[in-house]
Amino acid sequence: MNVLVIGSGGREHALVWKLAQSPRVERIYCTPGNPGIAGLAPPFPAESGDFSGLIREARRHEIALTVVGPEGPLAAGIVDAFREAGLLIFGPTRRAAELEWSKAFAKDFMMRHAIPGASSRTFHPGGGDEARSYVASCPLPLVIKADGLAAGKGVIVCQSRDEALRALAEISDPSSFGSAGSTVVVEEFMEGEEASVFAVTDGARFVTLAPAQDHKRALDGDRGKNTGGMGAYAPAPCVTPSLLRGIEESIIAPTLRGMAEEGRPYTGCLYVGLMLTAQGPKVVEYNCRFGDPETQVVLPLYEGDLAELLAASASGDLRAPATPVVAAGSAVCVVLASGGYPGAYETGKTITLPGADETPRGVMLFHAGTGSGPGGSLVTAGGRVIGVTAVRREGAMAETITAAYDAVGRIWFEGMHFRRDIGARAAAKPYST
Ligand code: AMP
Ligand code: GLY
């Protein structure tokens, strides 16, 4: 079959890389793609936001399955448009994707279905005075969130009341978050380790992939601003197999049941961001897609045929996989970011990469914000530039971490920064099976 992937980041590079390994896949296209993806998937003659152009070209290229990477097109209804046109597409409908595009909806949904999460209050536009008096009295620390999509940056953890009042003003300011910030969620701060679990689902049945841990803060030791994710590893030893079963029973299954009951059945990848608290796992957030960078470590550990899995999810026919879902071993991804990210950064910096024969075995360089520069050079074109991913089928996580950083040492661009502690927490703990 021919497959189309929509998106341009490290997640989409990993999706294309894994899909290309499926014996069922004949041709694979990606739009808008990036220079790293172009080596595996030629560009596609329709823009990712132009649904009617995509549908026309999908028919012309005999695309049997379209896989959507980012949340933007999902929130804009790409799945609804493809389904109306009778085309198979992997992802949730716009109404199902509301779990991600409205944090206020997600919080109400969790309350309705008794899904564990932080206690919270939602303030709608015009509720500024009420929100300010609420944060003046509720326990600290607290977390203030913009309701809408904000690329992982619409969340501010506040240690003091002054900080909380400033955060409320910032999030409600149309020049920083636009309409994403007009409704605000104020949430209890949860303590614990974080983990990301991806469930691929056809609306009723689901398969969970290797649990992963992202590193959301910009600086080592979980300091600095929240980012889209500075690195990830899998499997996360904090999510033991018995804990994963508990998460499936107390969070994933009731979420899918609740969405179906409310007339918005959820298909595609349900990303559950979790806090493993002393009272058990609780939902930090839902996302309606694969996570980035987690996908870069989760997919290399998926043992099965990804094209088959995603097509089964899209066509409502997901059966228990014949092969083990999670392969032995571990994967570590270190994100190389532009100087200044997650704040303002410059682009167009020349990237020096190792040649194909100098890239160590078991290391993939998943491109994210890369672009083509003068004379066929590779230049930076985004905040997160490259995900350096090492995969080892055996041995300790510490060795996989060393392999990833060894490859990082062979890459350079002006202003490049990265965290030096990706996976450090897991290296201290063996994964129990
Ligand atoms: P979100 O976009 O909702 O996933 O939030 C981004 C990050 O902010 C999370 O990955 C957590 O590190 C942190 N965070 C969000 N909500 C909470 C919470 N209620 N308690 C503690 N940390 C949180
Ligand atoms: N890594 C966080 C996300 O994809 O939202």
430 has pLDDT over 60: no
207 has pLDDT over 70: yes
Report pLDDT for 154.
80
Structure tokens at 7: 């998106």
Question: pLDDT tens digits for 283-296?
Answer: 999 999 999 999 99
179 has pLDDT over 80: no
With 0.85 as the threshold, say if the pTM is over it.
Answer: yes
Question: pLDDT tens digits for 3-28?
Answer: 999 999 999 999 999 999 999 999 99
Question: pLDDT tens digits for 104-120?
Answer: 999 999 999 999 999 99
DSSP class of residue 374 equals: G
Best mutation site among 284, 286, 287 for ligand 1 pocket (most ligand atoms within 8 Å of CB): 284
Sequence spans of domains, the chain: 2-91, 125-182, 193-408
Structure tokens at 92: 């949730």
Q: At what angle do helices 103-112 and 253-261 cross, to 10 degrees?
A: 100
| Ligand 1 midpoint to CA 170 (Å) | 17
Report pLDDT for 180.
56
Q: Closest residue (by CA) to atom 19 of ligand 1?
A: 189
Question: pLDDT tens digits for 339-361?
Answer: 999 999 999 999 999 887 788 88
| Ligand 1 midpoint to CA 284 (Å) | 6
Which of 143-152, 266-275, 329-338, 420-429 is least confident? 143-152
**pLDDT above 70 coverage of the chain, percent:** 95
Report pLDDT for 328.
85
Question: pLDDT tens digits for 66-107?
Answer: 999 999 999 999 999 999 999 999 999 999 999 999 999 999
Structure tokens at 186: 């104020």
Confidence of residue 433 (pLDDT cuts 50, 70, 90): very low
Report the 10 Å Cβ neighbour count for 50: 12
Report pLDDT for 189.
96
3-state class (DSSP) for residue 431: coil
Q: DSSP characters for 392-413?
A: ESSS-HHHHHHHHHHHHTT-B-
Q: Closest residue (by CA) to atom 5 of ligand 2?
A: 291
127 has pLDDT over 80: no
Average pLDDT score, the chain: 92
Report pLDDT for 181.
55
**Ligand located closest to 186 CA:** 1
125-182 — its CATH code? 3.30.1490
Architecture of domain 193-408: 2-Layer Sandwich (3.30)
Confidence of residue 155 (pLDDT cuts 50, 70, 90): confident
Q: DSSP characters for 17-83?
A: HHHTT-TT---EEEEE--HHHHTTS-B-SS-TT-HHHHHHHHHHTTEEEEEE-SHHHHHTTHHHHHH
Question: pLDDT tens digits for 219-247?
Answer: 999 999 888 899 999 999 999 999 999 99
Ligand 2 in reach of 231 Cβ (< 6 A): no
Ligand 1 in reach of 152 Cβ (< 6 A): yes
Best mutation site among 292, 296, 298 for ligand 2 pocket (most ligand atoms within 8 Å of CB): 292
| Alpha carbons 359 and 353: distance in angstroms, whole number | 9
Report pLDDT for 175.
67
3-state class (DSSP) for residue 131: helix
Question: pLDDT tens digits for 24-55?
Answer: 999 999 999 999 999 999 989 998 899 999 99
Mean pLDDT over residues 251-280, rounded?
Answer: 98
Mean pLDDT over residues 395-423, rounded?
Answer: 95
Report pLDDT for 325.
77
Q: The CATH number of 2-91 is which of 3.40.50.20, 3.50.50.60, 3.40.50.970, 1.10.1370.40?
A: 3.40.50.20
